[in-house]
Chains A and B, each alone.
Chain A
Amino acid sequence: MIALGWTLLFPLLGALILGWLAKPNAASLLNIATSAVGVMASFVLALQVLASGPIGGGLFYIDAFNVYLIALTALVGFTTAIFSRPYMTHELEQGRIGTGRLRLYHASFQGFLFTMQLALSTNNLGIMWVALEGATLATVLLVSLYRTPESVEAAWKYFILCGVGIAQALFGTVLLYLAASQAIPDADDALLWTELYRHAAELEPSVMGIAFVFLMVGYGTKVGLVPLHNWLPDAHSEGPTPMSAVLSGLLLNVALYALVRVKMLVDGSLAGETVHNPNLAGYLMMGFGMLSFIVAGLFLHRQRDIKRLFSYSSIEHMGLMTFAFGLGGPLATFGALLHMTVHSLTKSAIFVTVGHASQIAGTQSMERIRGLISTQPSVGWGLLIGTVAIAGFPPFGVFTSEFLLLSATMEAWPWLTIPLLVGIAVAFSGLFRHLQPMVFGAKPPSQDALKVNMLPVYIHLFLVLWLGLAIPGFIAGWFDQVTQLITGRGLL
């Protein structure tokens, strides 16, 4: 529990201290240091849980499912903090932001990490909601950090759409509490996930069904499911790049985690139902997931801004993961868990690279970024490899997880593999169509190399490659534990 305390406490303290620390240099170093402590604490926690099983049970509960997400969040937060140091220094030099706003940025960064870790580690579904709403609140002002009309509009849309969405989730939580208080005598325990999971079969199915619809709409908005996705491309493209990296890589995961936790409850409640469809939750997730996947893949082609391109790619992959979790079964769930990990790592790496690329070219418009490999090979190659990875090329991890998902779909719903394959192909072509002129070709006169730190990118991409080629035994065992938890059967 001490490790958990450190994982949560350090970001919170970091946020508070960074709120008044004015020196940019010291602030970015403190940012990195706080994140480093967070990473180490989360790894200790992970080892603890893997060795001795779930811990907690009151307000906090760590089992195999959320501990790996906690570790992932801390890791990506750490590497992004490393990246954000030179990036924000450059922004400061360029005059795009001032020291006051940099202070806001650092404080919100750590505050955001705190709310995400809180959402992941809490056992109380109400606190989970509070933390997710807190994550939105922590990042709203960051989206409009550059104060351009577009960024202000993006922040407004983000705030209102995510706010309304998450209010639906609150209503769903209330309904869940209603169903729970009938089955669980102690009112204060009725929102604890562990208690709900134990009593899942006693929860009233009709109410749980309605609650799931609201929760799906609510948390689904934050996952970025079509048609509730409108805020995502704007928010992810208008904020500073480190923010886009953590938003795409982490927040979407946490929202999906919340959705899956709730699905586990609803499945338990609806199992064996004759009046309502026992697979309601699964079908809903599959439907929305497939819709997001296809629509996002199509929209990829029309983009002109590089960050919006990759935001749509995020929507597409989150759709795929939602579909996989909805499909259920050990194969799909294992694939989805693997996909959550590799997508998070790859997407944050891509956004880091994109950030540097746009700094080099001075613009985010893809038509004006050219010849990255000639200008600065590390950035150019990073972008190329990253895109190759996210598009699903072997031997990267994304290919493995998509393959697992396709196998599972072939088993259960054979004809759905066709839209999946078509969608993957469409997204692939969309990404490469835009990528090719950007990385290849001669160096244009206006672009110069910059001082960049591409180490985080390479670490992430290496991890993704490793996970694709040969998943280490203990990670596979870890995923298998989670699969067993979610679906009741292990894969291995």
Chain B
Amino acid sequence: MTRYLELQLVEQAIITLAAMILVTSFALLGQSRVVATIRTFAWQGWLLALTTALVAWDIGHPHLYVSALLTAILKGALIPWLLTRQARQLGILRDVDSIVRPGITLLIASALVVFCYSVALPIGQLVEGVTRDVVAISLANVMLGMFMLVIRRKAVTQVVGFMALENGIFFAAVAATQGMPMVVELGVAFDVLVAVVLFGVIFFHIRESIESLDVDALNRLSEGEK
């Protein structure tokens, strides 16, 4: 406990922000309204950008500032705006994607977090600096993003889960390796952006073909039945 207190305020802030990002992952699992889900995702993007900027300040890698700015613009503003626009055009912005069993969902999510902590222990040994403890949180975010993909039933919320997964991986890159080389980060950001645009196109295709965006209704292709 005394070791934590020896950290500087910046480092304590980084750790607190990491925990808040974990809370947003939990919140994404529990939100049932589409608007609220997209807004929570935007919050996660902003928190991520802020954490990256603080890490950049603490460690002194200026290229992380660029990363932080890129994240803030892309994941905090642009992608939520795109998703909202697509949802509004599809008329599903006010929809509700209700959670089936929130209690069990929360318990499974907590179990996943604990599991990620144990997996991330050997990785954490290699990381220097304040972000060592944050590696486990980032892995937990990845797992919770995948879990969200599994339990969600509407296409838009599944895409938000997918984006949350990418957020988790970006966070892992910041936490474990203080960011990736710039060229890689730009490539990844470009891929993510193109993916969101393509998702929007596919939403329209889905809606045209099955008149709804409930992905459970996409079940015509199954083994040997055609």
Answer whether A and B touch in the complex at a CB cut-off of 8 Å. yes
For the complex formed, measure the closest distance between the CB of A136 and the CB atoms of chain B, giving whole angstroms.
Answer: 9
Complex Cα–Cα for A150 and B225 (A):
12
B220 touches A305 (CB 8 A): no
Residue of A nearest to B127 (CB): A178
Interface residues of A (CB under 8 A from B): 59, 124, 126-127, 129-130, 133-134, 137, 140-141, 144, 147-150, 152-157, 159-160, 163-164, 167, 170-171, 174-175, 177-179, 181-182, 187-188, 190-191, 204, 206-207, 210, 234, 238, 299, 302-305, 308, 365
- The winner among A127, A140, A153, A164 for most chain B CB atoms within 10 A is A153
B151 lies within 8 A of chain A by Cβ:
no
Complex Cα–Cα for A190 and B177 (A):
11
A133 touches B218 (CB 8 A): no
A234 touches B221 (CB 8 A): yes
* Residues of the A chain whose Cβ atoms lie less than 8 Å from the Cβ of B223: 299, 302
* Residues of the A chain whose Cβ atoms lie less than 8 Å from the Cβ of B208: 147, 152
Selected A-B contacts with CB under 8 Å, 6 pairs: A130-B190, A133-B195, A153-B221, A156-B218, A160-B158, A207-B122
Q: Which 9 A-B pairs have the closest CB atoms?
A: A126-B184, A130-B187, A302-B224, A153-B218, A149-B209, A206-B122, A152-B209, A178-B176, A152-B205
* Residues of the B chain whose Cβ atoms lie less than 8 Å from the Cβ of A299: 223-224
B172 in complex: contacting residue of A155, A157, A174, CB < 8 Å: A174
B155 lies within 8 A of chain A by Cβ:
yes
* Residues of the A chain whose Cβ atoms lie less than 8 Å from the Cβ of B23: none
Complex Cα–Cα for A147 and B208 (A):
9
Q: Say which one of B2-10, B89-97, B161-169 lies at the interface with A.
A: B161-169
Residue of B nearest to A187 (CB): B181
Given known contacts A126-B181, A160-B158, A210-B123, is B188 in contact with A308 (CB within 8 Å)?
no
B126 in complex: contacting residue of A130, A160, A204, CB < 8 Å: A204
B220 touches A153 (CB 8 A): yes
A167 in complex: contacting residue of B158, B169, B209, CB < 8 Å: B169
* Residues of the B chain whose Cβ atoms lie less than 8 Å from the Cβ of A191: 180-181, 184
Within 8 A of A (CB), among B80-117: none
Complex Cα–Cα for A308 and B172 (A):
38
Given known contacts A182-B126, A304-B224, A305-B226, is B210 in contact with A152 (CB within 8 Å)?
yes
A134 touches B191 (CB 8 A): yes
B119 lies within 8 A of chain A by Cβ:
yes
Complex Cα–Cα for A133 and B195 (A):
9
* Residues of the A chain whose Cβ atoms lie less than 8 Å from the Cβ of B165: 164, 167
Complex Cα–Cα for A187 and B185 (A):
14
Complex Cα–Cα for A152 and B209 (A):
7
Given known contacts A127-B184, A179-B126, is B162 in contact with A160 (CB within 8 Å)?
yes
A-B contacts besides A164-B146, A174-B176, 11 pairs, CB < 8 Å: A126-B188, A134-B191, A144-B202, A147-B208, A147-B209, A163-B195, A174-B169, A174-B173, A174-B177, A234-B221, A299-B224
* Residues of the B chain whose Cβ atoms lie less than 8 Å from the Cβ of A303: 224
Residue of B nearest to A148 (CB): B209
B1 lies within 8 A of chain A by Cβ:
no
* Residues of the A chain whose Cβ atoms lie less than 8 Å from the Cβ of B218: 149, 152-153, 156-157
* Residues of the B chain whose Cβ atoms lie less than 8 Å from the Cβ of A171: 139, 142, 169, 172
Complex Cα–Cα for A170 and B145 (A):
14
Complex Cα–Cα for A144 and B221 (A):
13
Residue of A nearest to B135 (CB): A178
Within 8 A of A (CB), among B137-177: 139, 142, 146, 149, 155, 158, 162, 165-166, 169, 172-173, 176-177
Complex Cα–Cα for A126 and B187 (A):
8
Residue of B nearest to A161 (CB): B149
Number of A-B contacts (CB under 8 A): 140
* Residues of the B chain whose Cβ atoms lie less than 8 Å from the Cβ of A124: 181, 183-184
Complex Cα–Cα for A191 and B187 (A):
14
For the complex formed, measure the closest distance between the CB of B187 and the CB atoms of chain A, giving whole angstroms.
Answer: 3
One digit per residue, 1 when the CB lies within 8 angstroms of any chain A CB and 0 when it does not, for chain B 188-226 equals: 101100110011011001101110000100111101101
Complex Cα–Cα for A411 and B122 (A):
36
* Residues of the B chain whose Cβ atoms lie less than 8 Å from the Cβ of A133: 191, 195
Complex Cα–Cα for A154 and B226 (A):
13
For the complex formed, measure the closest distance between the CB of B144 and the CB atoms of chain A, giving whole angstroms.
Answer: 13
Complex Cα–Cα for A302 and B191 (A):
37
For the complex formed, measure the closest distance between the CB of A233 and the CB atoms of chain B, giving whole angstroms.
Answer: 8
Residue of B nearest to A169 (CB): B169
Given known contacts A302-B223, A308-B226, is B184 in contact with A130 (CB within 8 Å)?
yes
Complex Cα–Cα for A177 and B126 (A):
12
* Residues of the A chain whose Cβ atoms lie less than 8 Å from the Cβ of B176: 174-175, 177-178
A175 in complex: contacting residue of B123, B146, B183, B187, CB < 8 Å: B123
Complex Cα–Cα for A234 and B190 (A):
27
Residue of A nearest to B142 (CB): A171
Complex Cα–Cα for A181 and B127 (A):
10
- The winner among A148, A149, A187, A303 for most chain B CB atoms within 10 A is A149
B202 touches A152 (CB 8 A): yes
Residue of B nearest to A192 (CB): B181
* Residues of the A chain whose Cβ atoms lie less than 8 Å from the Cβ of B162: 160, 163-164, 167
* Residues of the A chain whose Cβ atoms lie less than 8 Å from the Cβ of B146: 164
B149 touches A160 (CB 8 A): yes
* Residues of the A chain whose Cβ atoms lie less than 8 Å from the Cβ of B177: 174, 177-178, 181
For the complex formed, measure the closest distance between the CB of A301 and the CB atoms of chain B, giving whole angstroms.
Answer: 9
B205 in complex: contacting residue of A155, A174, A175, CB < 8 Å: A155
Given known contacts A137-B198, A152-B210, A171-B142, is B126 in contact with A127 (CB within 8 Å)?
no
* Residues of the A chain whose Cβ atoms lie less than 8 Å from the Cβ of B188: 126, 129-130, 170
Residue of A nearest to B190 (CB): A130
Residue of A nearest to B185 (CB): A126
* Residues of the B chain whose Cβ atoms lie less than 8 Å from the Cβ of A140: 198, 202
* Residues of the A chain whose Cβ atoms lie less than 8 Å from the Cβ of B139: 171
A159 touches B166 (CB 8 A): no
* Residues of the A chain whose Cβ atoms lie less than 8 Å from the Cβ of B142: 167, 171
* Residues of the B chain whose Cβ atoms lie less than 8 Å from the Cβ of A148: 209
* Residues of the A chain whose Cβ atoms lie less than 8 Å from the Cβ of B195: 133, 137, 159, 163
Complex Cα–Cα for A147 and B210 (A):
11
For the complex formed, measure the closest distance between the CB of A367 and the CB atoms of chain B, giving whole angstroms.
Answer: 10
Complex Cα–Cα for A140 and B201 (A):
10
For the complex formed, measure the closest distance between the CB of B104 and the CB atoms of chain A, giving whole angstroms.
Answer: 22
Complex Cα–Cα for A159 and B202 (A):
10
Complex Cα–Cα for A406 and B188 (A):
41
